[in-house]
Amino acid sequence: MTDSEYLNDMVNDFFARAYKFKMQGKDAEYKDMTTKALRLQGSLTKTKPIQPQPKKTNELPSRDDTFARTLLRREGHVHPDEDPALIVV
């Protein structure tokens, strides 16, 4: 494997040559150099795993669609219509 900095320089050189060929009107050479540059650039990312950058917690927007709810429960979680004497625990 070659150093990635060297390969990046090589890709930039290929793109520079392709641009020169485009300016000179040499379409065949332009397409050839652009293809080489894109293939080499694609080979740089083949072996690297693609992982998105994790978002920082302070950059996340606050949620405005939540609300607090208070639950009032009776002792033993008994429904008001039920007779507590009939319930066997």
Per-residue pLDDT of the chain (89 residues; tens, 9 = 90+): 567 788 889 999 999 999 999 999 999 999 999 999 999 888 877 666 668 887 776 666 677 777 777 777 777 777 767 766 665 55
- Planar angle of CA 29, 45, 18, nearest 5 degrees: 15
What integer pLDDT is reported at residue 11 of this predicted model?
92
What integer pLDDT is reported at residue 49 of this predicted model?
63
Residues 10, 16, 19, 25, CA torsion sign: negative
What integer pLDDT is reported at residue 34 of this predicted model?
94
What integer pLDDT is reported at residue 69 of this predicted model?
78
**pTM metric for this prediction:** 0.49
